[in-house]
Structure 1
Amino acid sequence: MMQPASQGIAAAPPAAGRPAVCLPQGVALEPLLAELRRLSWGAADILRAYGRGVQPPYGFPLALSVDDGGEGPVSAADLAVNQWLLDGVAAAFPSAAWTLLSEETAKEQIRAGVPLDAEWLWILDPLDGTKDFLQGTGEYAVHLALLQRGEPVLGVVLLPELEELWFGLVGAGAEAPGLAWRENRAGERFAPALSPRRALGELVLVASRNHRDQRLEQLLQALALGDTRAVGSVGGKVATILRGDADLYISLSGKSAPKDWDMAAPEAVLRAAGGAFSHADGRPLSYNDGDVRQAGCLIASHGPSHRLLCEAAAVALATIDPGFVV
């Protein structure tokens, strides 16, 4: 465990071994992390209030109308947290040379086939795991990711009900490893604890309750993994890998696919912790490329067994669904 802030250490990553994170001109890492903490815990308070049907903080109303969604706590929560995050980042860094994109603003910002003209891009998901939010499982998350030329540099995954705030500073290869940690509201920090499991037969899969089809079941049978855990939201799934409770997560797109805002922040934190996140053929995930869908067979893992997992999945899918682009 990292030394907690309550023992006299500021709630920021240790200076020793900290990766040199490239940021836009005029933006320093420590003020940025401080603002991300403030915004994240504020988002947690907003979401928990909507989830419990009580008055949200910061002046947000109990219900908001949505042209294409009706009224209710989910629509209100999405829009309130979206506004809180976008306004907060813009106000804290008014001259920063970055663009902000969220799930809620994508329809207005994105044209099919046309990447956004932005070297620096924030990709936000104010509420990942809407079904779990509705069902009251508590397994929902908030995602924030900063990208430079489509490559994740910094990721934040907030789990409001667990009061966990994960940060990831992505390194630039073996000579510049990344750094990931989680914080609680008290500012105590804890290092990731990726599991020591290696053989496919002992790996623990974390899967969705709401997005499973026959192809995925066939793939899992072919991989012959160990135990399976069901957790909502991509951020929540990746957090189970970071804690060592699970070893891998597989996203297998069908009629629909996850989007950039589902994957960017969890990928950043997992990679910063030493894990891996790629397509089954080894290709890296691609962001801001004119298509926000993250289609194919995507595998997130604790790292050491990643190549073996990808190879086995690619071989299995060639039989299960010939022609499927992994």
Structure 2
Amino acid sequence: MPSSALLPAGVSMDGLLAELRRLSWGAADILRAYARGDQPPHGFPKALRVEDGGDGPVSAADLAVNRWLLDGLSSAFPDADWTLLSEETAKEQLTEGVPLEAEWLWILDPLDGTKDFLQGTGEYAVHLALVKGQRPVLGVVLLPEADELWIGVVGEAAWCEDRTGQRSPVRFSQRSDLSDLILVASRSHRDERLEALISALQLGGSRAVGSVGCKVATILRGETDLYISLSGRSAPKDWDMAAPEAVLLAAGGRFTHANLKELTYNTGDVRQAGCLIASHGKAHAALGECAARAMASIDPGFPV
């Protein structure tokens, strides 16, 4: 079993994983209910339609899962020496340019993939990441519609569970030549620069998937091999990347900037800007080198 040595004092790994399972499957039930227009469990109100003065199913689902996760972690571990941060609480908690004073920090995204949730593609996720300093040590990526709970303990192991607790292993593909690699890309966050970069890499193929968590899951299943995020002022945030990175790292993959610099969290800037590459790791250095070289021509001066 994964060790408790990397957790705050008084928190056991077995106890933490048990609570994360309970909270994750509870979040799945909440989100699936809102997605279908059903009455949500755990006492949360049914979503009002926007035209009736409500905020609609997306906002209702976001807020309900946010409250479910924050209350659950707070009540299960009242004395734990960690801080809780979520996408929904960030505006109240964060001051631009100032990191939170927390050695241990939970970074939560109660609903990653809002457009896919609204459009009914099923490609949305819940992210929970425990960060120490500026790096993730544990991550959970829940895919409610697929009934998949991906768990990663960095330096230890990563695996997938279903609702019964049945585990299945990570199955990275054996593809290693750049010309064979399959890219998983965003449907909505694509521009001419990204299209030019993908063309320059001369990969073996691509597919479009929603949430970052869902994208990384395709790498973990061996369906694809890499994901690229290319952005500047409008960029993914800490809560988009921390949990998927933790699971991928725990599985033996990599998630870095094109120059192979590590992603960092709780820096005072929640944007994860630049040219970011997540992969199964087999050709990561070559991918970074090729991407950095291509970006020097596509957009000179772009910080990779």
TM over 0.5: yes
Of the three residues 129, 132, 135, the one matched with 2:119 is 135
**Whole-Å separation in 2 of the counterparts to 1:142 and 1:311:** 32
Residue 256 (structure 2) aligns with? 278
- Counterpart amino acid of residue 25 in structure 1: A
Q: CA RMSD in A?
A: 1.4
Secondary structure of 2:200's counterpart equals helix
**Whole-Å separation in 1 of the counterparts to 2:273 and 2:286:** 21
* 8 Å CA contact retained: 2:84, 2:107: yes
Could you tell me how far 1:259 is from its partner in structure 2? 0.1
Could you tell me how far 1:20 is from its partner in structure 2? 5.9
Of the three residues 224, 230, 233, the one matched with 1:252 is 230
2:138 corresponds to 1:154: yes
2:207 corresponds to 1:215: no
Of the three residues 21, 24, 27, the one matched with 1:37 is 21
Of the three residues 126, 144, 167, the one matched with 2:110 is 126
**Whole-Å separation in 2 of the counterparts to 1:204 and 1:276:** 16
- Counterpart amino acid of residue 82 in structure 2: W
Could you tell me how far 1:102 is from its partner in structure 2? 0.1
Residue 69 (structure 2) aligns with? 85
Could you tell me how far 1:255 is from its partner in structure 2? 4.5
1:135-177 per-residue CA deviation (whole Å, 9 max, x = no partner) reads 0000000000001111101000000000000000001xxxxxx
Residue 8 (structure 1) aligns with? none
Residue 288 (structure 1) aligns with? 266
**Whole-Å separation in 2 of the counterparts to 1:304 and 1:151:** 22
Of the three residues 210, 217, 220, the one matched with 1:242 is 220
2:93 corresponds to 1:115: no
**Whole-Å separation in 2 of the counterparts to 1:58 and 1:75:** 17
Aligned length in residues = 302
Residue 265 (structure 1) aligns with? 243
Secondary structure of 1:89's counterpart equals helix
Residue 34 (structure 2) aligns with? 50
Could you tell me how far 1:63 is from its partner in structure 2? 2.4
2:280 corresponds to 1:302: yes
Residue 10 (structure 2) aligns with? 26
* 8 Å CA contact retained: 1:159, 1:236: yes
**Whole-Å separation in 1 of the counterparts to 2:296 and 2:9:** 46
Contiguous gaps of at least 5 residues in structure 1: 1-14, 172-177
* 8 Å CA contact retained: 2:124, 2:144: yes
Relative distance call for 1:21 and 1:300 in structure 2 (3 A) is farther
Contiguous gaps of at least 5 residues in structure 2: none
Secondary structure of 1:252's counterpart equals strand
- Counterpart amino acid of residue 282 in structure 2: P
**Whole-Å separation in 2 of the counterparts to 1:154 and 1:234:** 17
**Whole-Å separation in 2 of the counterparts to 1:42 and 1:64:** 21
**Whole-Å separation in 1 of the counterparts to 2:169 and 2:35:** 29
**Whole-Å separation in 2 of the counterparts to 1:64 and 1:286:** 38
- Counterpart amino acid of residue 182 in structure 2: V
Relative distance call for 1:70 and 1:54 in structure 2 (3 A) is closer
Identity rate of aligned residues, in percent? 72
Relative distance call for 1:29 and 1:65 in structure 2 (3 A) is farther
- Counterpart amino acid of residue 132 in structure 1: D
TM-score (norm 1): 0.91
Secondary structure of 1:161's counterpart equals helix
* 8 Å CA contact retained: 1:19, 1:179: no
- Counterpart amino acid of residue 244 in structure 2: P
Could you tell me how far 1:70 is from its partner in structure 2? 5.8
1:116-150 per-residue CA deviation (whole Å, 9 max, x = no partner) reads 00000000000000000010000000000001111
- Counterpart amino acid of residue 80 in structure 2: A
1:198-252 per-residue CA deviation (whole Å, 9 max, x = no partner) reads 0111000001111110000000000000111111000000000000000000000
TM-score (norm 2): 0.97
Relative distance call for 1:21 and 1:133 in structure 2 (3 A) is farther
* 8 Å CA contact retained: 1:276, 1:303: yes
